[in-house]
């Protein structure tokens, strides 16, 4: 157990639907990062939050949004889902920028 908790582990949903992925960072970590891993795109950085504030944005689609709550857990919302959104979504946390991450076990999203 890395200390970063992601739920659910698996999610199957239909095109056009909306889902929410949840992440609880490791105790003491203020930063949360979201990554998407797909076979054709590799590991893509989506977005980072630090202590509730958005700090950096990557290749995150407009249909996707995220937030970090006062208790530091984070949610990634994916809407108007398409088949191509099927992927592993990882959350990672860190104590300080520049010292690497601890990754959660991921949420495998399948859009049918």
Partner 1 sequence: ELKVEQNPLFLSMQEGKNYTIYCNYSTTSDRLYWYRQDPGKSLESLFVLLSNGAVKQEGRLMASLDTKARLSTLHITAAVHDLSATYFCAVDLSTGGFKTIFGAGTRLFVKA
Closest approach of partner 1 to the CB of residue 91, in Å? 10
The partner residues of 22 in beta bridges, in order of sequence, read: 7, 75
String of contacts with partner 1 for each residue 34-73, x by CB under 8 A: -x------xx-x--x------xxxx---------------
Could you give the CA distance from residue 80 to residue 91 in angstroms, rounded to a whole number?
Answer: 21
Site for partner 1 in 78-97 (CB under 8 A): 90, 92, 97
3-state secondary structure of 59: coil
Residue 16 interacts with partner 1 (CB under 8 A)?
A: no
- Number of residues interacting with partner 1: please give it, by CB under 8 A: 23
Burial of 97 (0-12, 13-18, 19+ CB in 10 A): middle
56 versus 112: smaller Cβ distance to partner 1: 56
Give the Å distances, CA to CA, from 65 to 58, 96, 97.
12, 23, 22
Contacts to partner 1 by CB under 8 A: 2, 33, 35, 42-43, 45, 48, 55-58, 90, 92, 97-106
């Amino acid at each position: 157990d890395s200390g970063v908790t992601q739920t659910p582990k698996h999610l199957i949903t239909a095109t056009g639907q909306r889902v929410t992925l949840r992440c609880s960072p490791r105790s003491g970590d203020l930063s949360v990062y979201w990554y998407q891993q797909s076979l054709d795109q590799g590991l893509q950085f989506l977005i980072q939050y630090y202590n509730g504030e958005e700090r950096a944005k990557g290749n995150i689609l407009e249909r996707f949004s995220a937030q970090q709550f006062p208790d530091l857990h984070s949610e990634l919302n994916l809407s108007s889902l398409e088949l191509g959104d099927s992927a592993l979504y990882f959350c990672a946390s860190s104590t300080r920028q520049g010292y690497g991450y601890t990754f959660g076990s991921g949420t495998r999203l399948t859009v049918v």
